[in-house]
Structure 1
Amino acid sequence: MPEAPLTLAVLIRTIRSARTQAEERDLVQRESAKIRGAFRGDEAESRATNLAKLLYIHMLGYPAHFGQMECLQAHCLAPIPRKRIGYLGAALLLDEKQDTHLLLTNSIKNDLLHSSSWVQGLALSTLGSLGSAAMFRDLAGEVEQLARKAQPSVRRKAVVCAVHIIRKVPDLTDMFIPLGKHLLTEQTYGILHGAMMLIAEMCEQSPQALQSFSKHVSQMVGVLRNLVVAGYSPDHSISGISNPFLQVQILRLLRILGRDNEDTSEAMNDTLAQVATNTETTRNVGNAILYETVLTIMGVQSTSGLRVLAINILGRFLLNKDRNIRYVALTSLQKLLQTENSAVQRHRDTVLSCLSDPDPTVKRRALQLSLALVSNSNVRTSVRLLCVSLRDAGWYVRDDCVPNLICLIGGAKELHSYAVQQLYGALVQDISQQPLVQVATWCIGEYGNLLLDGSCEEVEPKQVHPEEILSLLERVLQSHLSLPATRAYALTALMKLGTHLQDSDVNRIRSLVSIYCSCHDIELQQRAVEYNALFRKYDHLRYCLHEKVFSCFGWEAVGGFPHQVYDLLDLLGGPVDSSVSQPSTVTPSATSLLDFLGDLNPAGKPLNVYCIIASCLIATALPRMSVYERDGLLIEFSMERPALEPTLLLITATVSNQMPDDIPNFTLQVAVPKPFQVELLPPSGSTVPGQGGAPLTQVIRVWTPKQVRTAEDLQSKKRV
């Protein structure tokens, strides 16, 4: 005797009581087979029940595709409960990627014209969820008529369905523009909310719609103003605020209409100010409206006073107890920093106070904004707080925060002693926080002489013995917590410190560096091998190579020099030529790739810029590059090799001045390593004009000996 089919309630209880997954799977397979048999037998009475059981099986993750055709038949049944099951099954089992769903078009059209509002609502919901472009084109007219004349509940669904139609088929926007204008006079809040969504979608899709609805901003502003001043309504108020969802949607629409439109923006300024000042902020609902108001103010051409008001709202968000609101405020202020820097700067103290927030995400966002807020006027205070913050932040900082903070410290000369003292003390206490360790080791390498001298005006100076510094860096190198990048910082710091220490300490540094010549990390191994080569072959150049450097040609100063430097030294096999070939050419005894000396002095003293050209002499690719940029003076090199003279390199130096005062008696002096030769042709002038003037140019001719190999040859040699 065949087993009787289970009802939906019994099926749910039986599946839930299954003890193992195999038992559940076996039960589902048996019941699925019974459902397939019932579908083939055309049992009309049990069709809705079987389809409901199949949908439950589908929600558990089991195959139910064989019920697609049954869904198409079920929604055609007369009783509304069966029709509802059919539409639910179609929404779950069908999508626009399958051609089967096109068979729904006629049935949905008939139901849209049905006399029952329940049936019309089912058809609109299904059409909006799985309608394709073809279905929308066929049924757009019926949807538009329902949005105008049907019952309020059906009209609301029809307007939302119209939004899906515009998103899928933007060509139909012209059909719904009159509907949008008609709905602006609607008194039902639900329909009005859908109308705002529809108008916003049309304005995003069609410039014609945007121009058309820009003339109706006064109506939208009036609706928003009424909502702001309206009293408490139990049907539409949330936390004492009248219909916040409609307010947010109107603000989003105004942001679209006021973008790059001065007249439209002016029409909404007063209402935006009213919303910003009258909205209650004690509840999260009010904060949501205020945030949308800020986005709208910043998204349209609002007045400067209104924009300052928006920034102040975000500043108040920073004082909120909710961490999510503080995070949103920090993110928004970061985006507005470029356009409203002065207004954001007023809240710098509040932003800096967020650095002590226990939430790591808020702290990270506050750190990024704090770095962006640093300027010449506040760098002294900001660097102190950022150093403390980095000590407390642990691992919760982005990778770019380390080089950014290093750049800030390097630019604040008066804080070098303070920074190295504080970071050294923090490193002695804890070497587990890698961002802190990286910044501290860089500062110790660059400004270790200040630490050894014990000179600091900001705090009580503390003189540190070289043995203590070397022991600390050795501990960083040997710690299992140190990342490869941290060890690279420490190795470079050791090499830089070696220029300030005695021979006994230098020998210790040499032994520490040699340990990493066989390191498994390729970067550390290459760095150690290069540093070891300096000790063995070029010890007389070590001091010059590890002077204070800066980023140029895309090489980070914190990472030392690229391997092409050492290839070139090995290629040339000796120190730099210090001979003077002519009065305008001077070669200092240094081998750093770019060693720019001298200070800008617009008062009238001569300005000398010394350059050493090295890697470009053996390069095969000759890009245009900026080689010097400081205090408004910019020097750019453009290079080319004449086709008939491969050993000649022509460098055109372009010198421009961004300062208002002229720079008189300017002299460009260039040096090259042996066995290269250099000649400077007469410059176009001796004075660099101030801002707006024609730049000064000078051609540099460099001869490359034939026996010198190119960078490509060096790479081939390495591969061999």
Structure 2
Amino acid sequence: MTYWPRWPPTQTPAEMLAAQSCLRQYSPSWTSVLQLAYGYVALTSLLRLVQSDHSAVQRHRSTVVECLRETDASLSRRALELSLALVNSSNVQDMTKELQAFLKSCPPDLRADCASGILLAAERFAPTKRWHIDTILHVLTMAGTYVRDDAVANLTQLIGGAQELHAYSVRRLYHALARDISQQPLVQVATWCIGEYGDFLLENCEETEPLKVEEEEVLALLEKVLQSHMSLPATRGYALTALMKLSTRLQGDTNRIRQVVSIYGSCLDVELQQRAVEYNMLFQKYDHMRAAILEKMPLVEHSSPQADEKAKGSREVAPLSEDQALVPTEPQTSKLSDLLDLLDDTSGDTRQPPPLQPSPEGGVVHLLDLPSTPPPPASIPTLKVFEREGVRLNLSFTRPPGTPALLLITVTTTNSSEDDVTHFICQAAVPKSLQLQLQAPSGSTATARGGLPITQLFRILNPNKAPLRLKLRLTYNHFGQSVQEIFEVNNLPVETWQ
């Protein structure tokens, strides 16, 4: 076999000529070892040159696509890498069709790379939102178990932001779910979409074929997902939440939904049982709040590295004052604290505390009052409440002098590991005798190696000076895995509540 030297990077024209020569010697119809070697050397050389001379490598795109059909694993893998590198805004639709055809028949060890590559290319170069949604659905239908963990969150974010495509998306997903409930990421997206926009299934949509769906069919499909042995616990959680949301979106009787939810109140899965118990309480005790609590989810802005850097720069240029940071941005959180009910009040006092009001002075001390101003209270030590694989959660406390019943807790999440923490969400609950407001976090990504942390402010009003307890629920993605932690914080300093 002819030995091909390793050309140095400075000889790019010579390397291109060598790669073109190898491509002329290679033909997909030949299967000899020498011909496969020519093809592998050519693809390797072109892959090294694609960044420096993208247009020159584009001329060989048809030959590269033909190499995807090769039975040789090393050759098809190198062709896949080069095909993904050749995708741009002008050829994304044609290349995606070729890659989807390859995904349908490629070996299992290449499916994850191919599926992830298609999703990334669609995210970067999608010509329209509808094409983007169709592409992701096609990948989830064929290789749902091979996609990345953030595929479900990205698609729900995309559908939620395309208001004009809500009816189209829910009908497409309903059809896909009715055909196959084995692809778990697809099932999770479909159940989420049916729960949010299930009312569109009963209406006519001009962009899809006429579809006649009865309410009983929709509920039966979600019950099938709940009862299927192929459904993961997270998938059952999506389905149970979808049923609850349909109780406010469909016009029929909700007794069937009540019965299903009550059954899972004794489920062996603790997470699903807790969710079912909370939903039962919502039916029984807070039915007047059900429609407001189960309304459609608001659009959450998608965070990107560019946006994080921009936000970091803006905070450095113009940091917020304390008074600005205390303005509530999510007033509905106080209503949800009763629903969560993660902590019961042992004293039995369920009186509603008075609403939070700013001090009449606006937090500014007049110069004439300075001599009579009491000394500032002693600082409360910072408390570390969570640490796992480099992810640390610290609580710092502040008691405003003018409002002794108010406690401000700043939650700071840092990441010293080698991988970013993404889609971070921190939820909290307190006993009913206290009032809790959660401010919007600074972001959802904690960058690796001690980069930009995530901060969030909790405001707790404790007029009766009851012992303070917190229950925290953390969800995030780290090292390619979805992590969820639920724990109580019972060792808060005495100064936080006395």
Does residue 422 in structure 1 map to residue 422 in structure 2? no
Does residue 476 in structure 1 map to residue 228 in structure 2? no
1:709 equivalent in structure 2: 468
Deviation at 1:553, TM superposition (A): 12
Q: Tell whether the 8 Å contact from 2:19 to 2:43 is kept in structure 1 after alignment.
A: no
What SS is found at the alignment partner of 1:715? strand
Aligned pairs for 1:639-650 (under 5 A) are 641-642=397-398, 647-649=405-407
1:438 equivalent in structure 2: 188
- Paired AA for residue 370 in structure 1: I
Aligned pairs for 1:363-512 (under 5 A) are 363-375=111-123, 377-393=127-143, 395-452=145-202, 454-502=203-251, 504=253, 506-512=254-260
C-alpha distance 566-460 of structure 1, shift in aligned 2 (>3 A): same
C-alpha distance 479-676 of structure 1, shift in aligned 2 (>3 A): closer
2:46 equivalent in structure 1: 294
Residues 187-220 of structure 1: per-residue CA shift (max 9 Å, x gap): xxxxxxxxxxxxxxxxxxxxxxxxxxxxxxxxxx
Deviation at 1:523, TM superposition (A): 1.8
Q: Tell whether the 8 Å contact from 1:620 to 1:711 is kept in structure 2 after alignment.
A: no
Residues 262-311 of structure 1: per-residue CA shift (max 9 Å, x gap): xxx3xx1221221232223323112211232134325xxx74xx133346
What SS is found at the alignment partner of 1:527? helix
What SS is found at the alignment partner of 2:176? helix
2:19 equivalent in structure 1: 276
Q: In the aligned structure 2, how far is the partner of 1:471 from the partner of 1:424?
A: 12
Structure of greater relative contact order (alpha carbons < 8 Å, 6+ residues apart)? 2
1:516 equivalent in structure 2: 264
2:55 equivalent in structure 1: 308
2:414 equivalent in structure 1: none
What SS is found at the alignment partner of 1:641? strand
CA RMSD of aligned residues (A): 4.6
- Paired AA for residue 466 in structure 2: Q
Deviation at 1:644, TM superposition (A): 7.6
- Paired AA for residue 290 in structure 1: A
What SS is found at the alignment partner of 1:458? coil
Aligned pairs for 1:141-220 (under 5 A) are none
Q: In the aligned structure 2, how far is the partner of 1:342 from the partner of 1:649?
A: 52
Choose which of 341, 354, 378 in structure 2 pairs with 1:567: 341
What SS is found at the alignment partner of 1:250? coil
Does residue 530 in structure 1 map to residue 278 in structure 2? yes
Q: Tell whether the 8 Å contact from 1:360 to 1:393 is kept in structure 2 after alignment.
A: no
1:547 equivalent in structure 2: 295
Identity %: 38
Q: Tell whether the 8 Å contact from 1:308 to 1:343 is kept in structure 2 after alignment.
A: no
- Paired AA for residue 133 in structure 2: V
* Structure having the higher Rg: 1
For structure 1, list consecutive stretches of 5 or more residues without a partner in the other structure. Answer: 1-237, 259-264, 555-560, 585-618, 624-637, 653-672, 681-698
C-alpha distance 357-385 of structure 1, shift in aligned 2 (>3 A): farther
Q: In the aligned structure 1, how far is the partner of 2:349 from the partner of 2:61?
A: 62
Q: In the aligned structure 1, how far is the partner of 2:106 from the partner of 2:12?
A: 38
Q: In the aligned structure 1, how far is the partner of 2:129 from the partner of 2:300?
A: 23
Q: In the aligned structure 1, how far is the partner of 2:336 from the partner of 2:63?
A: 48
- Paired AA for residue 276 in structure 2: A
C-alpha distance 701-363 of structure 1, shift in aligned 2 (>3 A): closer
- Paired AA for residue 281 in structure 1: Y
Deviation at 1:711, TM superposition (A): 0.2
Q: In the aligned structure 2, how far is the partner of 1:296 from the partner of 1:417?
A: 44
2:99 equivalent in structure 1: 351
What SS is found at the alignment partner of 1:322? coil
Deviation at 1:565, TM superposition (A): 6.4
What SS is found at the alignment partner of 2:276? helix
Deviation at 1:363, TM superposition (A): 4.3
Q: Tell whether the 8 Å contact from 2:140 to 2:185 is kept in structure 1 after alignment.
A: yes
- Paired AA for residue 387 in structure 1: L
Q: Tell whether the 8 Å contact from 1:330 to 1:369 is kept in structure 2 after alignment.
A: no
Q: Tell whether the 8 Å contact from 2:406 to 2:462 is kept in structure 1 after alignment.
A: yes
- Paired AA for residue 55 in structure 2: V
Q: In the aligned structure 2, how far is the partner of 1:573 from the partner of 1:531?
A: 23
C-alpha distance 649-377 of structure 1, shift in aligned 2 (>3 A): farther
Deviation at 1:475, TM superposition (A): 1.7
Q: Tell whether the 8 Å contact from 1:315 to 1:329 is kept in structure 2 after alignment.
A: no
Q: Tell whether the 8 Å contact from 1:379 to 1:412 is kept in structure 2 after alignment.
A: yes
Residues 629-660 of structure 1: per-residue CA shift (max 9 Å, x gap): xxxxxxxxx995326867434589xxxxxxxx
- Paired AA for residue 536 in structure 1: Q
Bigger share in strand = 2
Deviation at 1:512, TM superposition (A): 0.2
- Paired AA for residue 220 in structure 2: S
Q: In the aligned structure 1, how far is the partner of 2:145 from the partner of 2:436?
A: 50
- Paired AA for residue 275 in structure 1: A
- Paired AA for residue 485 in structure 1: A
1:70 equivalent in structure 2: none
Residues 569-628 of structure 1: per-residue CA shift (max 9 Å, x gap): 86699899997958x9xxxxxxxxxxxxxxxxxxxxxxxxxxxxxxxxxx97799xxxxx
Q: In the aligned structure 2, how far is the partner of 1:407 from the partner of 1:461?
A: 26
- Paired AA for residue 13 in structure 2: D
Q: Tell whether the 8 Å contact from 2:196 to 2:242 is kept in structure 1 after alignment.
A: yes
Q: In the aligned structure 2, how far is the partner of 1:701 from the partner of 1:364?
A: 44
C-alpha distance 373-535 of structure 1, shift in aligned 2 (>3 A): same
